[in-house]
Structure formats: structure tokens, C-alpha cells
Structure 1
Amino acid sequence: MPDPIRLFVAGPEPVPATGSDQVRQPVLRARDIRVDFAGEPVVDGVSMRIDRGEAVGVIGPRGSGKTTLLNAITGVVPATGDLFVDGLPVRLGSPERSRRSGLVRMFQTPQPVRALSSADNILLANSDHRHRDLLAAWLLRPLLTRVQQERQTDTPTAAARAGSGRPAGPGTDVLTYGERRLLDIARGIAAVPRVLLLDEPSAGLSSRETDALLLLLRGVAAEGVGLLVVDHKIDFIDALCDRVTVLETGRVVAEGTPAEVWRDRRVMDAYLGAAHDA
């Protein structure tokens, strides 16, 4: 599998640096997020912040509310609390509003349209919706054609960024699982996110594929995109994330840098202990 090349993500400008430290700017703030199922809290008052160009990991034992937290932030499940993207409020419970605000969610299982080629899957994910209505098709045909040509030109570039391979193939059934995973990330990049939310992105990948994914996501963050990553591979989280939030029964029990989190006794009890007993 080819190594990912240097990323270019349209949208936010690269995060500026002052000395050896990056100047961080908040891109996402979630405050007191709560999700109840059958009257029981699954996510119980979680607050978090992601800065531009920052990777934040979410870990915890099975059933701790990690995926539900991603679902709440992206409007997939009803939730209460406050959500802000680039300082603007985003109404919870609306996937469309979440997507328009720049939140792009990648699920645990890659979800390409199998009948389409890799290139067409990436083209479908492109977030450039200029001049795509019926009026534009009638009155602005030359401009519409130019926009479509730009989108088609960007598609091979997005595929190359993710090292997704075989972008012109007849369909995605010929791809390996690892290639479909990287294609999924390429689709996320093509959507020009402010924050990319990933649920178990390294699951099922070989060591080499995991390393390629790590390089890819580091490049995404380097271009100013925030990352919110749920994953069970501790080495992957340590290598990728600037900060880690630990959940247990829907509540935050620890947060900080990876080194700080792994020194916290509550994490040893809630996460490593549970993993050891499983």
C-alpha cells in the first residue's frame, strides 16, 4: 500500500506557529452533552473542546458511551447540551446542520457505494455544492460545467492523499478492507471538514495499514482540521492524539495528554482493568 503523500485540505488555513508551540484556536466546543435511552443516561454531561489542528482521542471500556457521544455531536441521536463550531451554535439532533457546520463523521465500518468506482465515491463526497440546482443547470450551464470539472480534477488528488489505490476501478468490491478504510478517509477529506470524527478507524487494519492511517491523519491535522477519534488501539491513540478524554458509564473520568491520562489511577481501574477482565 503506498504511503500517503503530503495532504492539502481546502478550507481552514494552516495553524500558525509561535516558536515551538502552535497557536491553537477552538474549532469545536461541546458543553454538558447528555443522551438518555429509556430514561437512563448513556452520555452524562460530557464537555470537551477541540482546537484547530488538534487530535483528541476518546477511550473507555465497552459501553462507556464513546460512539453515542459521536452520534450526539453529529446529530444522529437526540441530545441536550450546547455545541459550537468555530464559535457558532449548532443545534443538536440535526445531522444536516451538523454537516453544514463542517463536522464530518466516519463510521466504524467503511461505507462506500459499492456499485461506484473509488473515484466516483470520492466525487460524491465532495462538499462543493455551488450551482447544482435546477436554475443553475438552465441558466448557468458554463459555470456549472466548470465547477464540475474542478470537482473531477480534485478527485484523483484526494485518492492519492489517502493512498486508497485503484481509484478508476469499476467498483469497490475489488478493494481490500484496508483500501476501503483509506478510501473512506479520502471521502472525508473530500468533504472539506472543520472537524473529522472517526469511530474505530484502525479496527481490522494490519500494522502497515495502521501506520499509513496514522501518517494520513497527522497530515489532516497539520492542515488545521480538528480530529475527534474513538479507538481501542492504545499505541495508535498515543501516537496520534494531543489530548485524550476517558469515559466510564457516560461520564468523563480523566482527560489530559496521553502521558497524564495513563498515570491516572481511575483510568487504570475503568479502562485497563476492564480490558484485562474482558
Structure 2
Amino acid sequence: MLEARDITVRFGGVIAVNSVSLTVGDGEVLGLIGPNGSGKSTFINAMTGLVPATGKLTVGDRPVPLGRAGAIAASGVLRTFQTPQVHDDLTCLENVLLGLPDRRLRSIGVAWLRRRALMRAEHGRWAEALDALEFVGLADSAQSPAGVLSYGERRRLELARVYAGKPGTLLLDEPAAGLNHVETTNLVKLLHEWRGRGGPALLVVEHKIDFLEELCHRLVVLELGRVIATGEPAAVWADPKVANAYLGVVAEDPSVQNSLGKVADNA
């Protein structure tokens, strides 16, 4: 679904992401992990056009230019952010509708001559937005302003917006950050249910080890902007280079895996 090759991001003389390549397959859940400052969020920002970058990005069999947020979204790749991006003054329904832009039937002529078609299209958008709120458990808050939601609910509202957008690939930047254990467990269930409905391939940046192990088929590990390990979760946790990246020591004892989990969970 998505292939990134030699993605590099420079901020002045600092190389934040250094020739990183990865592939997210059709229906796959890929975890992108690493210590704080390893370049995970910067990598996602590069792919979604928020920071200048070099390299190549392909979605399906179509190249997507870097540096253009509209281009990656048009290719069917959507994202969430470390801090939920919602508009407090808009209702929950209106927040989701922002993820359903439809520029057809949007002219003065259409308003005069094709009003019925315009209303049918608008009713369809509203139905899709309400379905997304129902999916994340916020249907009862559809007409409430987003500003009254709890932090966990704001996370779900952002997820509803991308759910309504029907992405082929979804980039999740620390989706469980700030959530308690129950909220994190419910998020895992929600993502599993979405995938069971034929949902998108996922690229997940996260620190919570249990969350990653519940979801991910493979992991890619970054350290100082470079890939240092990739593979199935069990193999990655056992890699001494990964232990060294998180703990600052090379350790092959199995107990390191438990320590690594605690460090990453609290990072």
C-alpha cells in the first residue's frame, strides 16, 4: 500500500531522519518505534508534507510528491497527531464533516438548478459522519461542541474523522498517548474492529509495548534517525541493538525485554 525509500529530513546541519526506508503492505499493521528524539514523528511529518524532505514515496503503484500534504491525502493516506487535532467551537458532527470534503455540486448555479442533488449529497455526508461517530462511541455527542469532551473522547473524535475519510493507509502518531489502561484497551479493540471491517493498513508510532504487541505484525526501530532493526515483535525486542538504544547498554539477558517494556511504556 505504501512504500517510502531513502526519506531524509535535515534541519540546518542536523539530520533528523537519515535515509529511512520502509514498506506497509496491504492490510498490514507496522509499528514504528524508538527512543524519544529518534525521528519517528518527523518521518511521518515528512511523508505527509509537513516538513521538507527528500526521497521517494509510492502509494499503490503511484509516486506521490513529498512536501505536498494535499497530494498524500488525495492518494488515500490519512493521519492522526500526537495531540488530538479537533476544533473546540465546532460540534462533534461538524468536526467529522471536515474530513469529508466534497467539492462537487458547490457553485451558485448548482444551488439554483440542482438543489435536490445538492441536498442528497449533503445528507449522504451527514450520514457518513454520524456512522463514524457511532463507530467510535460518540453518537450521543454529535451535537455537542468538541470543547466539552474529555481527552480520551477527543482522541476518539479524531479517529472518527479519519474513519469517515475511508483511508487506504492510516498513520497513527502515538494514538495511545495520554490514555489510561481502560482507554488504551478500548482503542485496541476499536482498531481491531475497524480492520475486521476491511479497514486500512496502519503505520503506528507508539511507546506502549502492550499496545504494539496487540496490533503489529512487524516493527521498525529508529535510533538517531536511522533504522537499526526490523522484524516481528519478539525478534525485535530480543535484538541487543534495540536494548542498547533504549537502555544505553548491550544486554542479551531475557530480563532486558521486561526492562525495555517498562522504559518504553513510560517514555
TM-score by shorter chain over 0.5: yes
Contact 1:196 1:228 in 2 (8 A): yes
Question: Partner of 1:125: helix, strand, or coil?
Answer: coil
Alignment pair present for 1:103 and 2:77: yes
In structure 1, distance between residues paired with 2:233 and 2:112: 55
What is the identity percentage for the equivalent residue pairs of Structure 1 and Structure 2? 48
Pick aligned residue for 1:75 from 24, 40, 49: 49
Partner residue, 1:62: 36
In structure 1, distance between residues paired with 2:248 and 2:33: 13
Question: Partner of 1:92: helix, strand, or coil?
Answer: coil
1:141 CA drift (Å): 2.4
Alignment pair present for 1:250 and 2:225: yes
In structure 2, distance between residues paired with 1:137 and 1:99: 28
1:52 CA drift (Å): 1.8
> Alpha-carbon deviations, 1:183-238, whole Å to 9, x = none?
11011111111111111110111111111111111233331411111111011011
- Counterpart of 1:72 in structure 2: which amino acid? A
Partner residue, 2:257: none
Aligned residues: 252
Question: Partner of 2:222: helix, strand, or coil?
Answer: strand
In structure 1, distance between residues paired with 2:233 and 2:121: 43
In structure 2, distance between residues paired with 1:183 and 1:224: 17
In structure 2, distance between residues paired with 1:167 and 1:186: 12
Gaps of 5+ in 1: 1-26
Contact 1:33 1:81 in 2 (8 A): yes
Pick aligned residue for 1:94 from 64, 68, 78: 68
Partner residue, 1:226: 201
Partner residue, 1:4: none
1:136 CA drift (Å): 3.6
CA gap 1:246/1:115 in 2 versus in 1, 3 angstroms: same
1:139 CA drift (Å): 4.0
1:73 CA drift (Å): 0.7
TM-score (ref. length: structure 1):
0.85
In structure 2, distance between residues paired with 1:191 and 1:77: 23
Partner residue, 1:152: 126
User: Hey, which bits of structure 1, 4+ residues long, moved more than 6 A?
Assistant: none
Contact 1:164 1:180 in 2 (8 A): no
Cα RMSD (Å) of the superposition? 1.9
- Counterpart of 1:196 in structure 2: which amino acid? L
Contact 2:130 2:139 in 1 (8 A): no
Pick aligned residue for 1:161 from 106, 115, 135: 135
1:74 CA drift (Å): 0.5
Alignment pair present for 1:43 and 2:35: no
In structure 2, distance between residues paired with 1:134 and 1:193: 30
Question: Partner of 2:166: helix, strand, or coil?
Answer: coil
Asked which structure has the greater RCO (Cα within 8 Å, sep 6+), the reply is 1
In structure 1, distance between residues paired with 2:77 and 2:98: 17
> Alpha-carbon deviations, 1:132-186, whole Å to 9, x = none?
3455434432222111111111222101111235333331122111111111101
Higher helix share: 2
In structure 2, distance between residues paired with 1:108 and 1:158: 21
TM-score (ref. length: structure 2):
0.89
Question: Partner of 2:227: helix, strand, or coil?
Answer: strand
Partner residue, 1:236: 211
